[in-house]
Structure 1
Amino acid sequence: MSSSSSQNSGYDLSFKVLLIGDSAVGKSSLILSFISNSVQDIAPTIGVDFKIKLLTVGGKRLKLTIWDTAGQERFRTLTSSYYRGAQGIILVYDVTRRDTFTNLSEVWSKEVELYSSNQDCAKVLVGNKVDRDSERVVSREEGLALAEELGCLFFECSAKTRENVDQIFEELALKIMEVPTLVEEGSTAAVKRNILKQNQQPQASQDNGCCF
């Protein structure tokens, strides 16, 4: 099903998912691999970008709006506002670069605590680029330990080969659906209420209209 058919009648729940992590860990490639089943070289994200994916998980038709954030320091203040309202957060590191792993605990997880408006949002820790296993410097055991410390699900994946890519988003969606408050936020009734609020604010609706 294409994202162009994403009418309220086309899905049961709508969730916002945010990908965070250092620059060049493969966040954009991970999203593209999930959305289109293909991978290509991608330029670094400037600020933020988002993609929409419709899928069925746990018997529910879901609309995932997946936000891709820039990892560069100069964009941090720009992206902080995009944490708000996210029901799911994916923290990504590169298994071949230890600094991207340590920054998740020293920088990114602290930003989640600071900016996330949903303290019970579902989180997944993802070690990307396992197709380059000979270059690995972060072990699976270290990833599991950090995921436990941060209260995250854990996956290792390859955006290049698509190993575990679908499972990351599907398991995250299932985890979100275990939390009643997050399900309520993502219900079509709540989505309609948000649309009505936006329509009652002319300036906001004009701003939204310029984003495409």
Structure 2
Amino acid sequence: MIMSESVSQQVPGLNLNKVFKIIVLGDSGVGKTCLTYRFCEGQFLDKSEATIGVDFRERIVRINNENIRLQLWDTAGQERFRKSMVQHYYRNVHAVVIVYDVTKPETFHSIASWMLEVESHGLMKSPRVLVGNKCDCGTAESRLATTYAQRLADKYGMPLFETSALLDAECGTVESIFMTLAHKLYSKQPLRVISVQGENGPGTVKLARKKPRTTPPNESCLCS
């Protein structure tokens, strides 16, 4: 197993009260590495290469005046690499992010198999989110419809985020993905999604529906 490491915000002598391991799943090329890099480094990874083994980076965040270390584990989507590291990768996991490419339906259809893997490792009760990445690519007509993705997210009881690791304007959405998990892990509350008629309560995530993007095709769709 080859592990590349990029650690941000290292502060000597910093007292960390909690450390959480978050794994990022999804097919190869959906933008897992770019998402974690955007969250940890605050910018797009210009020269991204296919992950071989595990890509590991972390970020320290503040919640209720406590320092929380989020460890993000991004695995290679290729089957030949997954089999060799699966036991190590799923050990002591606190939360799961599942990513698909909104311009490639096959990566969306793979979510079912990723969920089976999550279930086989006893993580169905852990906070999980579904992320549609590369919303900067293609046209509104060529991208997977939000309503279609939302139905699958509802089926598995996960919040749905749609974003682009490439666009600076989407930095806040990427931040929300991981900070939503961080707050739920910190408070030890289950992550739930409720309908519009539902009632707000502890651990509830209520997401605003976004209007379809009309961004023209972008030649910089290089997330991996």
Q: Does 1:165 align with 2:171?
A: no
Identity of aligned residues (%): 35
Q: 1:19 aligns with which of 13, 21, 24?
A: 24
Task: Give the Å deviation of 1:120.
Answer: 1.9
State the partner residue of 2:102. 95
1:161-212 per-position Cα deviation (integer Å, ceiling 9, x unaligned): 141111111111122234269xxxxxxxxxxxxxxxxxxxxxxxxxxxxxxx
1:184 maps to which residue?
Answer: none
Instruction: Decide whether the 8 Å contact of 1:70 with 1:79 is kept in 2.
Output: no
Question: Aligned residue for 1:83?
Answer: 90
User: What CA distance in whole angstroms lies between the structure 1 residues aligned with 2:158 and 2:126?
Assistant: 10
Q: Which residue of 2 aligns with 1:44?
A: 50
Letter in 2 for 1:147: A
Amino acid at match of 1:123: R
Size of the aligned set, in residue pairs, is 178
1:56 Cα offset (Å): 1.4
Q: Could you list the per-position Cα deviations for residues 104-156 of structure 1 after superposition, in whole angstroms to 9, with x for gaps in the alignment?
A: 11x1110001124x442110100001112506431111121111111212101
CA distance in 2, matches of 1:22, 1:6: 36
**Alpha-carbon distance in structure 1 between the residues aligned to 2:159 and 2:85:** 23
Question: Residues 109 and 20 from structure 1, CA distance in 2 versus in 1: closer, same or farther, beyond 3 angstroms?
Answer: same
Q: Is the 8 A contact 2:136 2:167 kept in 1?
A: yes
Report the equivalent of 1:153: 159
Cα distance in 2, alignment partners of residues 2 and 95 from structure 1: 29
Corresponding residue for residue 147 of structure 2? 141
1:62 aligns with 2:68: yes
Sort the Cα spacing of 1:6 and 1:85 in 2 relative to 1 into closer, same or farther, 3 A.
Answer: farther
For the pair 1:125 / 2:130, whether they are aligned, the reply is: yes
Counterpart secondary structure, 1:132: coil
- CA 57–161 in structure 1, closer or farther in 2 if over 3 Å, else same: farther
In structure 2, runs of 5+ residues without a counterpart are 1-6, 191-224
Q: Distance in 1 between matches of 2:161 and 2:40?
A: 18
The residue aligned with 1:175 is 184
More helix by share: 1
Residues 143 and 68 of structure 1: is their aligned pair in 2 closer, same or farther, counting only changes over 3 Å? same
Distance 1:98-1:11 versus aligned 2 partners, 3 A rule = same
Could you say what secondary structure the match of 1:177 adopts? helix
* CA–CA separation in structure 2 for the residues paired with 1:46 and 1:177: 31
Aligned amino acid, residue 183 of structure 2: L
Q: Quote the Cα distance in structure 2 between the aligned partners of 1:148 and 1:58.
A: 30
Cα distance in 1 between the residues matched to 2:72 and 2:38: 12
Normalization by structure 2: what TM-score?
Answer: 0.73
Separation in structure 2 between the aligned mates of residue 41 and residue 100 of structure 1, nearest angstrom: 22
Q: Please say if residues 157 and 165 of structure 1, whose CA atoms lie closer than 8 Å, have aligned partners that are also in contact.
A: yes
Q: Tell me by how many angstroms 1:60 deviates.
A: 3.5
1:53 paired residue number:
59
